[in-house]
């Protein structure tokens, strides 16, 4: 039995990846979730973080994702995230600035909504920085 | 008939105006091409996302979620409707802005209750502020160069207002581009989501229902999915409106360039006539002067 599954990764501005994959690891609320071929049907919410996948030729890819979800149905995986970025696409300085800005905002008194927005912005910035570190 | 100099200055002014309209035509055509490209890029995400939500709803038919609640208990007279109105930042685009405001006005007349407007674009804002409608003051976004970030801010705001019951319904009025020639102002309901709009055809009873696990739970999945979906929808609407605006401007500017050309042609005929008449008159004067001299 072949041990790959169909994988499509959709970012809001493009079809990021489409093809066969061997494994997929996505960030979820309580850590990470890994998928191999013939995983049970599942839909999971993705939180901003680092996503890894290995395509059919064994190339390992690390990308930064923002919030979205993954659906794994009948050995076909589809990922929908607002942004999916390769490490080389990320502007490190911009991410650094965004991180500092978010930290600054978190230190101030805010409404709960503003607090959550800054928290999410911080999560996105930190993911971007982490992914680029291995470059 | 006007004299030659007057006609000449008129020709000059028409030529200057034509330069402007021609430049605007070229700018808006390049902007429209860019917008169309962006629109094509977002389409796969958008349609597949819609399909995925439809699938979830099909497999979990009796789902209860705040985003789907129609709020029957709120009487129609007291319903609070939020309308996102997407207009342009400036005119010179034919009937583009007018169509949007007309549709919005009609919609507000048709539905009873309280309306709150979230206006995008300067022309719409000025129009509704003059009419003393309830325009959300903090909602100041431009429609130029739509970005995901802006769409996210807008959707966060309306989701918050909807969940905190400041609004019972949210609509968006924008211009849809059916093809290069046909554009239409449309009104779309964003919230509450209609389950039927996701699955257009009935599912046969015997269809095998697959078991799909939702992780961590169906509610949490929908909680992240639906705001994302709305962001996508709003982004799509913004991009489409932007493309339509530039398309409308392109057509309007082409029409005015054409009519400027026509005017120039007529004016140049008039100018030549006036010039010739002047020459003829001068010759007659010279000849009659010469004749008078000869007779002396």
Model confidence over A25-51: pLDDT tens digits? 999 888 899 999 988 888 888 888 899
> CB pairs under 8 A, 24+ apart, for B131-136?
B133/B108
Contact predicate B92/B249, CB 8 Å: yes
- Look at residues B82, B86, B90, B116 and name the one whose alpha carbon lies nearest to residue B101: B86
pLDDT at B196: 64
Instruction: Test A13 with B148 for CB contact under 8 angstroms.
Output: yes
Q: Are strands A14-28 and A5-11 parallel, antiparallel or unpaired?
A: antiparallel
Q: Look up residue A75 and give its DSSP letter.
A: T
Give dist(CA B146, CA B238) in Å, integer: 6
User: B177: which strand partners?
Assistant: B183
Q: How far is CA A59 from the centre of its chain?
A: 17
DSSP state of A3: -
Contact A43 B45 (CB under 8 A): no
Please give the DSSP secondary-structure letter assigned to residue B200: -
Q: How far apart are CA A123 and CA B162, in angstroms?
A: 25
Predicted local distance difference test score (pLDDT) of residue A120: 84
Q: Which two tokens stand for residue B82?
A: 């939020």
Question: What residues have CB less than 8 Å from B165, skipping those under 6 apart?
Answer: none
Q: Which of A43, A78, A83, A114 to mutate to test the interface with B (most CBs of B within 10 A)?
A: A43
Q: What is the pLDDT of residue A25?
A: 93
Residues of A with Cβ-Cβ distance to B231 under 8 angstroms: 12, 82
Neighbouring residues of A34: CB distance < 8 A, sequence distance ≥ 6: A23, A24, A25
Q: B279: which 2 tokens? A: 């020459």
- The answer to whether the CB of B27 falls within 8 A of the CB of B95 is no
Q: What is the mean pLDDT of residues A113-124?
A: 83
Establish whether the linkage from the previous residue to B205 is cis, with ω within 30° of 0.
no
Query: Contact A43/B213, CB-based, under 8 Å?
Result: yes
- Test A43 with B221 for CB contact under 8 angstroms: yes
On the CB side of A68, CA atoms within 13 Å amount to: 27
Per-residue confidence in pLDDT tens, chain B, 296 aa: 568 889 999 999 999 999 999 999 999 999 988 888 888 888 788 788 888 877 777 776 666 788 888 777 778 778 889 999 999 988 888 889 999 999 999 998 888 888 889 998 888 888 998 988 888 877 777 788 888 888 888 888 888 889 888 888 899 999 988 877 788 898 888 888 876 666 555 555 555 556 777 777 777 788 888 888 888 888 888 888 998 999 999 999 999 999 999 999 999 999 999 999 999 999 999 999 999 998 77
| CA-wise closest residue to A116 among B163, B67, B64 | B163
Partner A contacted by B201 (CB < 8 A): no
Instruction: Please answer whether residues A81 and A65 qualify as being in contact, where contact means their C-beta atoms are separated by less than 8 angstroms.
Output: yes
pLDDT attached to residue A1 = 53
* ipTM (interface pTM): 0.73
Are A53 and A23 within 8 A, CB to CB? yes
| Cβ A4 vs Cβ A21: under 8 Å | yes
pLDDT of residue B15: 95
Structure tokens at B272: 């030549």
- The CA distance from B228 to the nearest CA of chain A, in Å, is 7
Measured distance CA(B254)–CA(B245) in Å, rounded: 14
- For B72-112, the DSSP string reads TTS-GGG-EEEEEEE--SS--STTHHHHHHHHHHHHHHHS-
Does B147 contact A at CB distance below 8 Å?
no
CB contacts, 8 Å: A11 with chain B: 45
Closest CA to B13 of B235, B195, B260: B260
């Amino acid at each position: 039995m072949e041990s790959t599954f169909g994988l499509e990764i959709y970012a809001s501005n493009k079809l990021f990846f489409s093809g066969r994959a061997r494994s997929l690891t996505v960030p979820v609320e309580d850590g990470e979730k890994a998928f191999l071929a013939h995983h049970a049907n599942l839909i999971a919410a993705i939180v901003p973080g680092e996503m890894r996948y290995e395509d059919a030729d064994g190339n390992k890819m690390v990308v930064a994702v923002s919030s979205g979800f993954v659906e794994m149905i009948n050995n076909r995986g589809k990922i929908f995230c607002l942004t999916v970025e390769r490490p080389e696409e990320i502007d490190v300085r911009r991410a650094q600035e965004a991180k500092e800005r978010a930290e600054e905002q978190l230190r101030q008194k805010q409404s709960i909504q503003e607090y959550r927005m800054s928290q999410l912005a911080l999560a996105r910035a930190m993911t971007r920085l982490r992914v680029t570190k291995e470059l | 008939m006007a004299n030659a100099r007057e006609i000449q200055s008129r020709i000059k002014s028409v030529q200057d105006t034509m330069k402007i309209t021609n430049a605007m035509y070229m700018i808006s055509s390049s902007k429209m091409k860019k917008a169309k490209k962006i629109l094509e890029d977002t389409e796969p995400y958008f349609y597949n996302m819609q399909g995925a939500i439809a699938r979830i709803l099909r497999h979990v038919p009796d789902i209860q979620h705040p985003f789907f609640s129609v709020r029957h208990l709120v009487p129609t007279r007291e319903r609070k409707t939020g309308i996102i109105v997407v207009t342009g930042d400036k005119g010179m685009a034919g009937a583009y802005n007018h169509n949007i405001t007309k549709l919005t006005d009609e919609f507000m007349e048709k539905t009873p209750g309280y309306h709150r407007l979230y206006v995008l674009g300067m022309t719409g804002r000025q129009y509704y502020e003059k009419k003393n409608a309830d325009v959300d003051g903090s909602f100041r976004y431009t429609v130029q160069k739509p970005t995901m970030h802006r769409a996210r801010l807008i959707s966060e705001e309306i989701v918050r207002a909807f969940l905190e019951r400041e609004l019972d319904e949210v609509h968006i009025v924008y211009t849809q581009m059916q093809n290069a020639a046909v554009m239409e102002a449309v009104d779309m309901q964003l919230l509450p989501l209609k389950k039927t709009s996701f699955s257009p055809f009935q599912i046969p009873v015997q269809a095998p229902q697959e078991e799909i696990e939702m992780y961590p739970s169906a509610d949490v999945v929908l909680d992240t999915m639906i705001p994302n979906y709305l962001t996508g929808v709003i982004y799509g609407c913004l991009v489409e409106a932007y493309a339509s605006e530039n398309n409308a401007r392109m057509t309007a500017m082409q029409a005015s360039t054409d009519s400027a050309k026509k005017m120039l042609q007529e004016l140049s005929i008039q100018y030549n006539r006036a010039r010739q008449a002047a020459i003829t008159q001068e010759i007659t004067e010279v000849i009659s002067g010469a004749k008078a001299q000869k007779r002396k």
